[in-house]
Chains A and B, each alone.
Chain A
Amino acid sequence: MSEFTLSCPIPISDYPQVLLAHGSGGKLMHHLLEKLIVPTFASPISADRHDGATLTFNGSRLAFTTDSFVVKPLFFPGGDIGTLAVNGTVNDLAMCGARPCYLSLSFILEEGLPMETLWRVVQSIRAAAKAADVQIVTGDIKVVDRGKGDGMFINTAGIGVIEHSLTIAPRMVREGDAILINGDLGRHGMAIMAAREGLTFETTIESDCAPLAAPVLRLIEAGVEVHCLRDMTRGGMASSLVEIAKGSGLHLHIDEARLPIRDDVRAACEILGLDPLYVANEGRFVAFVPQAQAEKALEAIGEGAVQVGVVLADAKGKVTAQSGIGVSRVVDMLSGEQLPRIC
């Protein structure tokens, strides 16, 4: 067994300091998790590396998760840090196949933040919690010196109840599974980038931020044998698929021509040289279900749902995409965030 060690497992020569890229959902963040965090707290429950942990108490199963929200700007088209803080945690619970029940709510506020701003965020948290049918039951407030926080950071943790016997995890994905998503890709990331950088396009791109428990529970109630679910947040669809390919040891193949991406999002990505496959979503998930149940699953998820690929067994732990001109290529995780290109 591994012993407690005082020396840092990530060689200082690699990264003597934490970089922004360590929080991007890409490879650097995974290195940090794999080398520094997961082995330190080795637990069979966290071994699945899912969006939340599944806990068993006296025969009943609960899902437990936590998330922190550091978005800038605090308000953006289609949502704000408050709606994100509710939906982000609700969605992590939903990805465990749980019915979200209770959330905690912790604020880290920067001295000088207008009370009006805090009030607006609290109101939108209330509305989002109502929409997602969860209760805020505990919380905390801390205030840091002016200049030590970006106005407001929020942490939420959540508990949900699992009312079925399915195991939903990357290792449950099977050869022949259909890969489904619940709607168009890339809107949240582009909405944030446009708001942050003051980029204006002909139309306003609104975040897709939304609670996902309802479509997931409909899937399960319809009797679909759900193998794996993942919300496609930081790092976008590509990073979620790479994680699941690694976790399942299978080959995930998607058809780029089938990916629903709105024209305004595609245009903005073209201009900035970004690949929508890596752009963040806040109301989109990928579901792995047996191909024979794909039709039923798409109907249960509802409007916008589409099959984008299949699971193959001819290679281990990789993702490929068929390009618009019919040639296959590898889809890998990025190191850090996508950066707009020069020209």
Chain B
Amino acid sequence: MRYVDEYRDARAVHKYAELLAKLTTRPWTLMEICGGQTHAILRFGIDALLPPQITLLHGPGCPVCVTPSELIDKALEIAMQPNMIFTSFGDMWRVPGSRGDLLSCKARGADVRMVYSPLDALKLAQRQPEKQVVFFAVGFETTAPASAMAVYQAAKLGVTNFSILVSHVLVPPAIEVILSAEGNRVQAFLAAGHVCTVMGYTEYEPLAAKYRVPFVVTGFEPLDIIEGIYMAVKQLEEGRAEVENQYARAVRREGNAGAIALIREVFEVVPRKWRGIGEIPNSGLGLRAAYAAFDAEKRFGAARYTAEESGECISGLILQGAKKPSECPAFGTRCTPERPLGATMVSSEGACAAYYRYRLHSVSQTGTT
């Protein structure tokens, strides 16, 4: 398969591993931001090929994981309303709020449907004008253009039975939280390739300069990831702190101008609460006043909902790279994909889910990862 097989070539990956071993002279701690990269690292075993001095921490880039319980609770409340079709991406189905998940909501009779794009939800609303159709708009900058397009089209076409429950979050503010935290261990970042496909990487340039950390925009295949790590370590070893682009086949410095314009047309930057981390200023997107009619929170009166996170779940520390999933006392025992304490255990991009799925046996056998 073109554009995939070339980037899974074992010989090329091992060659980079050798180069990296030669290059590395001392311990370095890197963070891959995106949960998709975390899963690729564990699924292919890329971490096992790195020199022992390099530590990878797993970042907050799983949109499902950082969606706070209270927003899931709002989703459940909206989904249970009569005459409602609640649509969502598949991997939100099993994420627990404080009172269950969408899958159990469906078992109680709610009409919860999986869609592949918010535009499919909009089509559903047009086909069933007698129903309310809500789309759970979750994701980073990567999925925001599609949500924006659905709302933009709904406004243009006058589809009044469509709305979205917005939970869009932005990457750079979360990185700044990590960098400015006391005891931050992260010395370089692999920036998420798909986010940068939309937004470009100019936003990282001031962060690299201010905190003196290298950023490498990185893809998702094994060769991408090991090359991204190589480029980041090379910067560290040479004392540079720049923004470099490993994923040049998909990412331009300025990003996708059309997508950015659409996001700005429909959304404005707002503060957002992140699961396990708390509220981060300017870290999310909310609908602009001109599109407020499409805000499901306002339409269905679920706006003032709050919920406490599970006390035992340390996903906040995991999402900030302060702990690894295997360091959690509940990991694999009181917290499993069947009975999750937090979203990081059930999301397809969650770090805990990746450790559970690809490493559980080695964790339980040796006590390390």
The contact of A325 among B92, B108, B222, by CB within 8 Å, is B222
- The reply to whether B44 and A324 contact each other, CB–CB distance below 8 Å, is yes
Nearest CB of B to A325, in Å: 5
The contact of B1 among A19, A270, A273, A327, by CB within 8 Å, is A270
Q: Tell yes or no: A266 within 8 A of B by CB.
A: yes
Please give, as numbers and ranges, the residues of chain A lying within 8 Å of B94 by CB-CB distance.
Answer: 21, 335-336, 339
Q: How large, as a class, is the contact surface on chain A?
A: 35 or more
Q: Tell yes or no: B234 within 8 A of A by CB.
A: no
- The reply to whether A327 and B48 contact each other, CB–CB distance below 8 Å, is yes
- The reply to whether B103 and A21 contact each other, CB–CB distance below 8 Å, is yes
Q: Tell yes or no: A137 within 8 A of B by CB.
A: no
Given known A-B contacts A327-B45, A340-B114, A341-B89, A31 and B356 have beta carbons under 8 A apart: no
- The reply to whether A323 and B43 contact each other, CB–CB distance below 8 Å, is yes
Please give, as numbers and ranges, the residues of chain B lying within 8 Å of A336 by CB-CB distance.
Answer: 94, 103
Q: Tell yes or no: B173 within 8 A of A by CB.
A: no
Q: Tell yes or no: A6 within 8 A of B by CB.
A: no
- The reply to whether B8 and A343 contact each other, CB–CB distance below 8 Å, is no
Q: Tell yes or no: B162 within 8 A of A by CB.
A: no
Please give, as numbers and ranges, the residues of chain B lying within 8 Å of A340 by CB-CB distance.
Answer: 89-91, 114, 116
Q: Tell yes or no: A267 within 8 A of B by CB.
A: yes
Q: How many angstroms between the C-alpha atoms of A31 and B356 in the bound complex? A: 18
Please give, as numbers and ranges, the residues of chain B lying within 8 Å of A315 by CB-CB distance.
Answer: 361
Q: How many angstroms between the C-alpha atoms of A328 and B44 in the bound complex? A: 8
Q: How many angstroms between the C-alpha atoms of A318 and B337 in the bound complex? A: 18
- The reply to whether A329 and B143 contact each other, CB–CB distance below 8 Å, is no
- The reply to whether B143 and A343 contact each other, CB–CB distance below 8 Å, is yes
Quick one: which of A183-201 are within 8 Å of B by CB? 197, 199
CB-CB nearest in chain A for B338: A335
Please give, as numbers and ranges, the residues of chain A lying within 8 Å of B73 by CB-CB distance.
Answer: none
Nearest CB of B to A62, in Å: 36
Give the residue among A14, A20, A330, A336 with the most B Cβ atoms within 10 A: A330
Q: How many angstroms between the C-alpha atoms of A1 and B343 in the bound complex? A: 40
Chain A interface mostly: loop
- The reply to whether B45 and A20 contact each other, CB–CB distance below 8 Å, is no
- The reply to whether A343 and B103 contact each other, CB–CB distance below 8 Å, is no
Interface segment among B134-142, B238-246, B284-292, B320-328: the answer is B134-142
Please give, as numbers and ranges, the residues of chain A lying within 8 Å of B142 by CB-CB distance.
Answer: 343
Q: Tell yes or no: A18 within 8 A of B by CB.
A: yes
Q: Tell yes or no: B357 within 8 A of A by CB.
A: yes
- The reply to whether B44 and A339 contact each other, CB–CB distance below 8 Å, is no
Q: Tell yes or no: A342 within 8 A of B by CB.
A: yes
Nearest CB of A to B102, in Å: 11
Q: How many angstroms between the C-alpha atoms of A341 and B138 in the bound complex? A: 11
The contact of A343 among B4, B108, B194, B361, by CB within 8 Å, is B194
Nearest CB of A to B317, in Å: 23
- The reply to whether A330 and B10 contact each other, CB–CB distance below 8 Å, is no
Q: How many angstroms between the C-alpha atoms of A83 and B193 in the bound complex? A: 44
Residues of B within 8 A of A (CB): 1, 4, 8, 10, 13-14, 36, 42-46, 48-49, 63-64, 89-94, 103-104, 106-108, 114, 116, 138-140, 142-143, 194, 222, 337-339, 348-349, 356-362
Chain A to chain B contacts (Cβ below 8 Å), 21 pairs: A17-B108, A20-B103, A199-B116, A270-B1, A325-B10, A325-B13, A325-B44, A325-B46, A326-B10, A326-B14, A327-B46, A329-B44, A330-B357, A330-B358, A335-B94, A341-B36, A341-B348, A341-B349, A342-B64, A342-B89, A343-B194
- Give me 14 other A-B pairs in contact (C-beta within 8 A), A21-B103, A323-B44, A325-B49 excluded: A17-B104, A17-B108, A19-B103, A20-B103, A272-B116, A273-B348, A324-B44, A327-B49, A330-B359, A330-B360, A339-B90, A339-B93, A341-B89, A343-B36
- Nearest first, the 3 A-B pairs at minimum CB distance are A327-B45, A339-B90, A17-B107
Residues of A within 8 A of B (CB): 14-15, 17-21, 27-28, 31, 197, 199, 263, 266-267, 270, 272-273, 315, 318, 323-330, 332, 334-336, 339-343
